[in-house]
């Protein structure tokens, strides 16, 4: 969502990360796990804290 809010395309993100757009799409759709190093780079590009990502993941995975 943050990528879209900023108006960044998947292609732009892929170029910044030096990966293909297809690989970025796979990562974004959670088809394949993202390496921590790449996640930190994504956070830097989107100007967000990695801790925000971890908080969101924790909230999604909470049991009722």
> Per residue of the chain (64 residues), what is the pLDDT tens digit?
889 999 999 999 999 999 999 999 999 888 888 888 999 999 999 999 988 877 777 776 675 5
The radius of gyration of the chain from alpha carbons, rounded to an integer in Å, stands at: 12
**Claim: this prediction has a pTM higher than 0.85:** no
Q: How far is CA 63 from CA 53, 58, 59, 60, in A?
A: 18, 10, 9, 9
Specify the DSSP class assigned to residue 39.
Answer: H
Quote the pLDDT of residue 56. 72
């Amino acid at each position: 969502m943050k990528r879209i809010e900023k108006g960044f395309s998947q292609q732009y993100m892929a170029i910044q990360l030096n990966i293909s757009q297809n690989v970025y799409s796979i990562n974004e759709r959670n088809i394949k796990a993202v390496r921590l190093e790449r996640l930190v780079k994504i956070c830097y590009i989107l100007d967000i804290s990695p801790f925000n990502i971890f908080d969101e993941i924790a909230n999604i995975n909470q049991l009722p």
